[in-house]
Amino acid sequence: MHIVSLAGGIGGARFLRGLRATAPDDQITVIGNTGDDITLFGLRVCPDLDTVMYTLGGGINEEQGWGRLDETHVVKEELAAYGVEPQWFGLGDRDFATHIVRSQMLEAGFPLSQITQALCTRWQPGVRLLPMTDDRCETHVVISDERGRRAVHFQEWWVRLRASVPAESFALVGVDAAKPAPGVLEAIAEADLVILPPSNPVVSIGTILQVPGIREALLAKTVVGVSPIIGGAPVRGMADACLTAIGVETSAQAVLELYGADLVDGWLVAPEDSGVALEGVRVAARPLLMTDQDAAAAIARAALDLAQELSG
């Protein structure tokens, strides 16, 4: 079976590890969010792609969910000693190497999709990992603070401000001119099933869906989503702050409606959300906490079973 899964960072990566474990013979293509990407110290950082790559490749800091196992932070300390900003973004030494390789390849003219493939020859994630687009396309957040109303890069809001200042709106700068990366539409066209993992519905999945052509291509497909909200709270992260900003309630019901019945065919929710319903969508309830790899695999299995029901 050909499966396409969209993915943000930690939640998506953990779900994908479960999916790969439960469906080892299926061909999985991952379309990763690049709206979180940022250029720091002249180096191109792709947090979500790297989280997927490291998680599936066995290099992730398991406890933290992002960054590298056995990480050190000498370069960051030295940059701080030079007084170079920003100092709020936690790049480790091992991680720096990834960004150095990526940046060097970008400078040499390679598109991000080819670079990601090259990085994956080391990590062997067991899935085909594609960026949603090769075009620069970054999420910015409009906030109001003591410095007035202004737009900051998503990472500044997310990491430096810990989403403590309310987001007024999000702007995916560059998306109008962005094209899906090579292979993205082809993979969707070939897919027997598309999965929306429990990633952030606004700044991860929502971002991917904004790339012209991707959402349209998905409409023709069987799409199963896993709710990132359990009983009114995000599984992890600060999805509630993002949902609130776009006027959407933090609930499994509201996220399903945000995605829309035209897109989603099956929707997996937690038992406490079993009342969720939307015409044209088959809803199934089961525990959704990815407490360990087995739990993630069981959730992925449930998503595949739901897809099976839809086609049966």
> What are 52's two structure tokens?
């997927």
* Cβ atoms of 110 and 104 closer than 8 Å: no
Torsion angle in degrees (nearest 10) through CA of 139, 144, 150, 152: -30
State yes or no: residue 289 binds its own copies (CB under 8 A).
Answer: no
If residue 28 lies in a helix (H) or strand (E), which one and from where to where?
A: strand 27-32
Instruction: State in angstroms the smallest separation of the CB of 41 from its own copies.
Output: 5
> What are 188's two structure tokens?
């969707």
* Cβ atoms of 196 and 255 closer than 8 Å: no
97 versus 261: smaller Cβ distance to its own copies = 97
Closest listed residue to residue 6, CA positions, set 181, 240, 155: 181
Residues recorded for the chain: 312
Closest listed residue to residue 39, CA positions, set 85, 92, 2: 85
Residue count at the site for its own copies (CB under 8 A)?
Answer: 25
Q: What is the C-alpha to C-alpha distance for residues 258 and 268, in angstroms, rounded to an integer?
A: 15
Residue of 29, 33, 98, 227 that binds its own copies (CB under 8 A): 98
State yes or no: residue 81 binds its own copies (CB under 8 A).
Answer: yes
Interacting residues with its own copies between 122 and 161 (CB under 8 A): 122
Instruction: State in angstroms the smallest separation of the CB of 107 from its own copies.
Output: 5
* Cβ atoms of 101 and 94 closer than 8 Å: no
112 versus 194: smaller Cβ distance to its own copies = 112
46 versus 290: smaller Cβ distance to its own copies = 46
> What share of residues in the chain are helix, strand, coil (percent, to 5)?
40, 20, 40
Selected range binding its own copies among 100-108, 168-176, 259-267, 269-277, rule: CB under 8 A: 100-108
Residue of 64, 72, 124, 169 that binds its own copies (CB under 8 A): 72
72 versus 164: smaller Cβ distance to its own copies = 72
Could you tell me whether strands 266-269 and 223-226 are parallel, antiparallel, or unpaired per DSSP bridges?
parallel
State yes or no: residue 293 binds its own copies (CB under 8 A).
Answer: no
State yes or no: residue 69 binds its own copies (CB under 8 A).
Answer: no
State yes or no: residue 210 binds its own copies (CB under 8 A).
Answer: no
Triad 299, 304, 306: Cα angle to 5°: 95
State yes or no: residue 43 binds its own copies (CB under 8 A).
Answer: yes
Closest listed residue to residue 134, CA positions, set 112, 107, 116, 103: 112
State yes or no: residue 52 binds its own copies (CB under 8 A).
Answer: no
84 versus 233: smaller Cβ distance to its own copies = 84
If residue 38 lies in a helix (H) or strand (E), which one and from where to where?
A: strand 38-40
Selected range binding its own copies among 79-87, 191-199, 219-227, 295-303, rule: CB under 8 A: 79-87
State yes or no: residue 85 binds its own copies (CB under 8 A).
Answer: no
Cα 204 to Cα 31, 32, 42, distances in angstroms: 11, 8, 24
State yes or no: residue 93 binds its own copies (CB under 8 A).
Answer: yes
Cα 264 to Cα 135, 184, 227, 231, distances in angstroms: 27, 19, 11, 20
Instruction: State in angstroms the smallest separation of the CB of 85 from its own copies.
Output: 11
State yes or no: residue 74 binds its own copies (CB under 8 A).
Answer: yes
Residue of 62, 107, 168, 262 that binds its own copies (CB under 8 A): 107
State yes or no: residue 103 binds its own copies (CB under 8 A).
Answer: yes
* Chain residues in the site for its own copies (CB under 8 A): 41-43, 72, 74-75, 77-79, 81-84, 93-94, 96-98, 100-101, 103-104, 107, 119, 122
